[in-house]
Amino acid sequence: MSRITMLVCGLLVVLAGCAALPDDAPAADPYTGPNESLDTVALLTDHTERVEAADSSTFAATHEYTVVVGPVDRTRTTTVRFERDDRTDESWFEARYTDSGRDAATTQQAYRTADRTVGRYDTSRETVYVGGVEAERYLPARFETVHAVSEQPEFSPVAATDWTFDGVVTRDGESLTRYTASGTDRLDRSTANVTDGRDHLHAYEATLLVTGEGVIRELLYTYRYTPWDATDATMTETVRLRTTGLNGTSVDEPSWLGEANERATA
């Protein structure tokens, strides 16, 4: 299981919408030229350094996991948003979990200041407020959001993919270099957890959007495989990670803060 899968599914760790403008937008300051190969080691270094140096940022992720067994399919989706502002020493986290096999969604939120952290947990049956150590557990570590695209021990798609330069596009007025990959042969099977000799990989698609300075604005990848212990099942996983708002993110107090301060258990 990849680090981001563990992050979003195991650590409570959305998607910041990205309106697409025409792909023939004028190129400006591409990260690499069309005839250059992408040095993923240098890219991951550039990304990490710039995100760590920023005094604020927004990290968003979505993870969709679909299992098909015969005529039955089931999809579980986790969407996450994490905002931090070091200038005011505030951070905000929200995770929403849905399951096609269940009617209700679950939402988990946390708000942190220098003085206190409070959290809210919503299900179809109840709303619970927590504080202190329990609320702190709702928040992902900053390291995990900064390094989510680069340090995934079992599957690092940026480093494991053979990328092709695919032009310069504009998203929300920003010029981004696009790299793409299509086909299982574009993935280094020695680093992908679904191809470790047990699972059979059927399809792989990936897209990478990078600023001229080397910030990975978006990483999107999908792979479909048959797990080694369930030959009649097919798994499809889609992961989308976005890093935005560097030096421009401000954290707002949640509307439920007053109630949380009154009701939160320590």
The pairing of beta strand 127-131 with beta strand 72-85: unpaired
Percentage of the chain exceeding pLDDT 90: 49
Strand order in the sheet with 233-244: 127-131, 117-122, 106-112, 90-99, 72-85, 56-69, 233-244, 216-226, 200-210, 174-182, 164-171
Whether the predicted pLDDT of 234 surpasses 70:
yes
> Looking at residue 219, what is its pLDDT?
94
| Domains of the chain in sequence order | 20-263 (2.50.20)
pTM here is: 0.81
Q: Which of 11-15, 93-97, 118-122 shows the lowest per-residue confidence on average (mean pLDDT)?
A: 11-15
Q: Across residues 219-233, what is the average pLDDT? A: 80
Q: How open is the CA angle 181-159-86, to the nearest 5 degrees?
A: 110
Q: What is the dihedral of CA 159, 206, 73, 228, to 10 degrees?
A: -40
Q: Across residues 195-202, what is the average pLDDT? A: 62
Digit-coded pLDDT (tens) for 112-157: 999 889 999 998 889 999 988 888 887 766 555 555 555 544 457 8
Do residues 159 and 44 touch, judged by C-beta distance below 8 A? yes
Average pLDDT of the chain is 80
> Looking at residue 216, what is its pLDDT?
94
- Between CA 26 and CA 29 the distance in angstroms is 10
Digit-coded pLDDT (tens) for 181-190: 999 889 886 6
- Between CA 180 and CA 187 the distance in angstroms is 12
